[in-house]
Amino acid sequence: MQSVAEFNRAIAESYRLAKKSGFPAFPLGVGRSNPVNATPFLERIDRIWEMGTDPIREQLLRRLASLLDILRAAEVEPLALLVGGSFLRPPVICKDLDCVLFYQCDHDPASLLQGYRCRIGKVGVDVRFVPVDSDPLVVLKSAIYFGTLYTMQKTGDSERAGAVLFDCRKQGRGE
């Protein structure tokens, strides 16, 4: 059995390898892949700033950070952020940041979140919201759907792209 420290080192190493390689879905090939070394790659949310490799990405990250602050102020607690698409693949010029925010909340923020999604979508952050305290099958279906969607490349390349799952929790691996 692997210790937690060994597991965390393996997770960190798989993220580093994937990032260095441009986030392919299966950096070691499908035959050698497992949930630790393949998409989605797991990392702390504070490391997302490393993705700001050009002015467009920096601006999108500032907008995302602002949204996370607004949500926390509204007592919507971000738990995880799944990011995919061209945002993860410099030098590709990205036009938006595709992401899914998994959150927890003691009240129903649906109309609030829909308003935020509409406003921030106009400035390039294409965010979807999934409550983790809802039906577990809805959460799993959403995670699998968006995880699959974000591995598709519009260019028609046969190699799948990867995605990154950022830990947004205040405790644990998050900030």
First to last CA, the chain: 27
Does residue 27 lie in a domain region? no
Q: Is residue 32 part of a domain?
A: no
Q: How confident is the model at residue 175, as a pLDDT?
A: 40
Q: Is residue 113 part of a domain?
A: yes
Q: Which tokens go with 156?
A: 């028609």
pTM of the model: 0.91
Torsion-angle region of residue 124: left (phi > 0), alpha (psi -120 to 50) or beta?
left
Neighbour-count burial of 88, counting CB atoms closer than 10 A to its CB (0-12 exposed, 13-18 middle, 19+ buried): buried
Number of domains in the chain: 1
Q: What is the mean pLDDT of each run of 10 residues along the chain (175 residues)?
A: 84 94 92 93 94 95 96 95 93 93 94 93 96 94 93 72 92 45
**Is 3 contained in some domain?**
no
Domain housing 59: 40-167
pLDDT of residue 18: 94
